[in-house]
Amino acid sequence: MDKQVSTDRRTGYTEKVLDHFTNPRNVGKMDDPDVTAKVGSVACGDLIKLYLKIDENTRKIEKISFESYGCAANIATASMLTELAKSKTLEEANKITFKNISEELGGLPKIKMHCAVLSMTGLLSAIKKYDAMRGLIVIDDILVKLILKGVLDPISGVDVISSKIVERFSISGKKITINLKGEANSSISKEIDKDIHEAFEGLDVNLTLNYQSNK
């Protein structure tokens, strides 16, 4: 960690966090990405969408950019993530941790560490989705669970796996059936439905979402 990184007492953020917030690197939508990954939710306040261009032969990340909605830490962690992942192979990028992101930023307040976790989840999802799209790995429970970990409950801000909104899911060929708690036509369920479909964007799968009210 850079010993010269100081913390702004007013915000609790380091100079590096504020720099990546006010001058984010690699920001913006990519027109021709090989894979995308969306994590978070506008409704709960933190959203990141990653775009990756990958050399198929070397498996190096040639380009990576992001769009973000949220607090300073959310934007800064996404910005730093793209800097850490750029020019790395997928295998190298897969080893990046949320602690690496935080350390490179000179540290994050504990209540903002989830932003680093969210951006890292997005990168891991993008890598796994890329390999699945090319038939290098199968779409299994591990991949589906990873993707769903990036979808947040709009109310609590906790992912739909940990919050147990997703009760169970099953995979049969290209069909993925997800059973969730909630009213099918409620505004919250509609938001979750939209986020889940966007999270699986690019994968050749058929999603079926079933809602079951506890009432």
User: Which residue numbers are catalytic?
Assistant: 44, 115
Which residues are CB-contacts of 124 (< 8 A; sequence separation ≥ 6)? 94, 146
